[in-house]
Structure 1
Amino acid sequence: MDGEPTSDGTPPPPPGDGEPRPVSSGGDDAPATPEEPSTSTSGPRPRSAWNRPTSIAASTVLALVLGFALTVQIRSTDEPDNPVAGQREEDLVLILDEIDDREEVLRRQIADTRQTLDDLTNGQEQSDTAVAEAQARAEAIGVLNGTLPARGPGLRISVQDDDGTVPAAVLLDAIQELRGAGAEAIQVDDVRVVVSSAVTGSPGSLRIDGTLLEAPYEIHVIGPTAAMEVALNVAGGVVDDVRRAGGTARVTRAQTVSVDALVD
């Protein structure tokens, strides 16, 4: 009977699924209206009707994925790798302000470092200059005091006094004229002449600071050669005084004169 379960408990298949629909069981013998054949009799039902929504959804998802990938690819190509990409405008402003602050700090540090270097360089140069000046002053004082030897351009003066007639005053005048012309160091024979030196004795027996001199008197002097030479040869000067006293004086320029006698 239709609609009743079979002997094994399974419900009967619905009409049209593999079996012909039953005809009417009426009392007349009119022919039954034929039914259109079912498409299911030729094989399994096609799945396109059931799978159409799934296919549409899959196509939509695939299109979205492809579109997103294309967008990412375009943005990756057009925009370089930038650590601030995607930042908000407010964040970018803060980042720029921080960069400006750091740049200003670095500039100040560079300026301070340069100033320190300049100060050190200038300080070293000033220190070197001060040391050099101090050494030069010490040497000059040593030369004037007669405690240091000296070498340089100057004059060699030879005073001949064969008769012993040249007085101490003439020799003293020669020393003073040389000092006035800028002499830096003076030596007579083996005696160093300094500020406190004194010329004493009588003609033929002259002394400087107690040391006896012997004629001819050899005077070595360092200083401006031209000025000293003019001072000695001026009319009525030292050369004339020596001649009037009975002696002779010869003045010679020299590129290098040694004054090596020292004061004890």
Structure 2
Amino acid sequence: MKKLKNKGELAVVVVCAVVGFLLAAQLRSVKLNSAADATNASRLETLQNLYNEALDKQDGLEQQLAQAQHELGVYREEAAAGGGSAALVHELEQLSITAGLTDLEGPGVAVVLEDSSSANVTGDEADYLIHDSDLLSVINELRSAGAEAISLNGERILATSEIRCTGAVVTVNGRRYAAPYVIMAIGDANTLYNALTMRNGVVDILSQWGITVKVTAGELLLIPKYNGTVEYQYARTAQEPEERGE
């Protein structure tokens, strides 16, 4: 009887130990979850604040852009009707084109790029996706071939435009786009087409990874103006030596 009693007491001790361990584990899990929830809530609040700040900044930039476009229109009208010389009007138009402040149309090529649908044999899915470097290769080739204006998914490409991967998408002029990517370029259509499709050229290299690249020449393409503002905080017009006191 004493042996059975000892066995019963042992069983009770074991059960109590197991229950205690489970309760401790549950309590620890609850604390960890609470801490994780608090951290996530803090991150969410921070992201919300950043998002609100970005929206406020965007609204301010849009107002600045609208004001700048209005002033530019006034200057054009005054230059054309108020005695401005033809050379001055022409220079203003050229500066507007260079700054990307006006819609442009003309002959050129349209390039459509889509992610590869080939079977993955490298084990790395990124090998079969379009990256910012691929888009830059196409754009640089077009520039080298004499493209006078370029857009990517409707975004005018300027000297200040950024093209970079942000996760599974590409950011252009602060806006995110996913494949397919459409690049439009105005210039001599035959020259641009041949520059992209030549043997061992950019299209040939991308095709080796199964990335679909379709190049089409056109007689009349439309490239929209830059939908944003360019601010210079540090750069300024260089002074002449005599103005600097040299």
TM-score scaled by structure 1? 0.47
User: Hey, what's the Cα distance between the residues in 2 that align with 1:151 and 1:168?
Assistant: 26
Once the 2 structures are TM-superposed, how far is the Cα of residue 161 of structure 1 from its aligned partner? 1.6
Q: Deviations over 1:43-71 (max 9, x none)?
A: xxxxxxxxxxxxxxxxxxxxxxxxxxxxx
- Is the partner of 2:101 in helix, strand or coil? coil
User: Hey, what's the Cα distance between the residues in 2 that align with 1:139 and 1:245?
Assistant: 42
Answer yes or no: is the 8 Å Cα contact 1:166–1:203 preserved in 2: no
Out of 134, 145, 168, the position equivalent to 2:88 is: 134
- Partner letter of residue 161 of structure 1? D
- Partner letter of residue 92 of structure 2? A
Report the equivalent of 1:251: 215
Report the equivalent of 1:184: 148
Answer yes or no: is the 8 Å Cα contact 1:191–1:208 preserved in 2: yes
- Partner letter of residue 91 of structure 2? R
- Partner letter of residue 155 of structure 1? V
User: Hey, what's the Cα distance between the residues in 1 that align with 2:188 and 2:86?
Assistant: 23
User: Hey, what's the Cα distance between the residues in 2 that align with 1:142 and 1:241?
Assistant: 36
Matches within 5 A, 1:1-264: 131-161=85-115, 165-201=129-165, 204-264=168-228
User: Hey, what's the Cα distance between the residues in 1 that align with 2:208 and 2:153?
Assistant: 23
Answer yes or no: is the 8 Å Cα contact 1:167–1:203 preserved in 2: no
Compare the two structures and name the one with the higher helix fraction. Answer: 2
Answer yes or no: is the 8 Å Cα contact 2:116–2:212 preserved in 1: no
User: Hey, what's the Cα distance between the residues in 2 that align with 1:203 and 1:161?
Assistant: 15
User: Hey, what's the Cα distance between the residues in 2 that align with 1:247 and 1:204?
Assistant: 15
State how many pairs are aligned: 135
In structure 1, the gaps of 5 or more residues are 1-129
Q: Deviations over 1:66-97 (max 9, x none)?
A: xxxxxxxxxxxxxxxxxxxxxxxxxxxxxxxx
Once the 2 structures are TM-superposed, how far is the Cα of residue 244 of structure 1 from its aligned partner? 2.8
Once the 2 structures are TM-superposed, how far is the Cα of residue 204 of structure 1 from its aligned partner? 3.7
Report the equivalent of 1:43: none
Which has the bigger relative contact order, CA under 8 A and spacing at least 6?
2
Once the 2 structures are TM-superposed, how far is the Cα of residue 144 of structure 1 from its aligned partner? 2.2
- Partner letter of residue 136 of structure 2? L
Structure 1 233/137 Cα, relative in aligned 2: closer, same or farther at 3 Å?
farther
Once the 2 structures are TM-superposed, how far is the Cα of residue 199 of structure 1 from its aligned partner? 1.2
Among the aligned pairs, what percent are the same residue? 28
Once the 2 structures are TM-superposed, how far is the Cα of residue 185 of structure 1 from its aligned partner? 1.0
Q: Deviations over 1:101-146 (max 9, x none)?
A: xxxxxxxxxxxxxxxxxxxxxxxxxxxxx93333333222222221
- Is the partner of 1:212 in helix, strand or coil? strand
Once the 2 structures are TM-superposed, how far is the Cα of residue 200 of structure 1 from its aligned partner? 0.4
Structure 1 137/182 Cα, relative in aligned 2: closer, same or farther at 3 Å?
farther
Report the equivalent of 1:104: none
Answer yes or no: is the 8 Å Cα contact 1:232–1:238 preserved in 2: yes
Once the 2 structures are TM-superposed, how far is the Cα of residue 225 of structure 1 from its aligned partner? 1.0
Structure 1 231/139 Cα, relative in aligned 2: closer, same or farther at 3 Å?
same
- Is the partner of 1:137 in helix, strand or coil? helix
